[in-house]
Amino acid sequence: MHIELPPQVEQIIERLAEHGYEAYAVGGCVRDTLLGRCPGDWDITTSARPEQIKALFRRTIDTGIQHGTVTVMMEGEGYEVTTYRIDGEYEDGRHPKQVKFTSDLLEDLRRRDFTINAMAYSHRTGIVDAFGGIEDLERKRIRCVGSAAERFEEDALRILRAIRFSAQLDFAVDEETWNAIKLIAPNLNKVSRERVQMELTKLLCSDHPERIGQVYETGMAPYVTPDFADLSWQTACFPKDSPRKKYVRWAAFLRCGRAALQADGRQLEAEPGGAEWERERAAFAVRILRDLKLDNDTIGKVRTLVAWSGVILPLEAPSVRRAMSRMEPEVWDSLAVLNGWGAELVEMAERIRRRGDCLSLKQLAVNGQDLIAEGIAPGREIGRILGVMFEEVLDHPEHNKKELLIPWYFSEKGRA
């Protein structure tokens, strides 16, 4: 079987081969190409040692020399080239204690997690499929290389990867592998939260985010974070057209809220954050994301989306502007999808944007300097007055002019 390789990958493999080393494209890129999917990155595995790899290419980066990985730069793109290796004993299911280099490709393939990820390819040799990876691709099956229980004991993250790949590829998890996942589930708490988070994020950003349910069905959830297990996951709903952005997908999931409080959920008001239940739900989501070490930008956006989830906005420009003013435009658009807001509301927001209505203090025609020039002492009072003006402008965008707002505020009417 012939696989189309990017020219840079061909060059790297060829160069290594010319110098007597074996080299193959390996892992995810072989899997994805055979499935007709576009690989995210091309990894290369070789019998050459890191020093030998570095000697053959002009620009290299020591990405993980102790694990045998050198990044080879080709036309501004990096390609990871890794020496064949055997992962030694895993320490606490976390990191291999030591890695041993080997000259045998099969040993390198055997340490990999699933049969579909354990194939290698080069033009000279064709596909090397020692563990039935092609058959599992055809059967749409996630199956461990060798004994599932043993492989999961070595590195418990693999139990989550199994479900992540099943969601990305729409594959089923093989029975032996599934039973081993249930058995090893508690070991997930030995894995770093960053690694757990990255797999969960990939799962949620896949075509089948609802497969996050399998994290619960396998008994892994309590070992993700303590709160994670308490989510009302069965009620989670992922709109078909929701963008594949991590904050959107996390929000779509976390808005299901805490199972214990779900029953208590009432019809939400037009302004979020009012009901204790809503505040609790957003805080709960934030706690889970913090525990999973998500970045602050994502956490902030999820907090907003969860707080506004389920809100029914009246079809009136001032309330729409008020809501828009509380979040970035991109977050607003995602919220419209998550809340299933109708075309009229979406179009009203579009008109508001096109007109350039003031939606943030930055766009207000008056600033702090203007107020100081009017004799207001610098300090808290400035912020308060700007807030009053901003509220006025949200109701009447046509009032966003310095020559209107200042007299308006300082007139009796404005101060009342």
- The correct pick among 115, 117, 309, 400 for binding ligand ATP (CB under 6 A) is 117
Please check whether residue 272 is in contact with residue 220, taking contact to mean a CB–CB distance below 8 angstroms.
no
- The correct pick among 28, 50, 93, 257 for binding Mg ion (CB under 5 A) is 28
End-to-end CA distance of the chain: 81
Spell out, one character per residue from 4 to 33, where the chain touches ligand ATP: x when CB under 6 A holds, - when not.
-----------------------xx-----
Q: How far is the CB of 32 from Mg ion (least distance, A)?
A: 9
Q: How far is the CB of 352 from ligand ATP (least distance, A)?
A: 40
> Rounded to an integer, what distance in angstroms lies between the CA atom of residue 229 and that of residue 410?
55
Question: Which residues on adjacent β-strands are paired with residue 232?
Answer: none
Using Cβ positions, the residue closest to ligand ATP within the complex turns out to be 28
> Rounded to an integer, what distance in angstroms lies between the CA atom of residue 241 and that of residue 267?
25
> Rounded to an integer, what distance in angstroms lies between the CA atom of residue 368 and that of residue 386?
8
Token couple for 113:
């997690």
Neighbours of 386 (CB within 10 A): 19
3-state secondary structure of 99: strand
For residue 112, state whether it binds ligand ATP (rule: CB under 6 A): yes
Chain length of the chain? 416
For residue 42, state whether it binds Mg ion (rule: CB under 5 A): no
Nearer residue to ligand ATP within complex by CB, 20 or 40: 40
For residue 50, state whether it binds Mg ion (rule: CB under 5 A): no
Q: Which of 39, 6, 10, 8 is nearest to 124 (CA)?
A: 10
Q: Which stretch in 28-36, 122-130, 277-285, 379-387 sits in contact with Mg ion by CB under 5 A?
A: 28-36
Number of chain residues interacting with ligand ATP (CB under 6 A)? 11
Nearer residue to Mg ion within complex by CB, 44 or 385: 44
Q: How far is the CB of 152 from ligand ATP (least distance, A)?
A: 10
For residue 105, state whether it binds ligand ATP (rule: CB under 6 A): no
- Residue 64's H or E segment, with its range, is strand 60-64
- Chain centre to alpha carbon of residue 103: 36
Q: Which stretch in 112-120, 209-217, 306-314, 395-403 sits in contact with ligand ATP by CB under 6 A?
A: 112-120
Token couple for 188:
């997930």
Q: How far is the CB of 117 from ligand ATP (least distance, A)?
A: 3
Applying CB under 5 A, the residues found at the interface with Mg ion are: 28, 41
Q: In the complex, which residues of this chain contact ligand ATP (CB under 6 A)?
A: 27-28, 40, 43, 112-113, 117-118, 155, 157-158
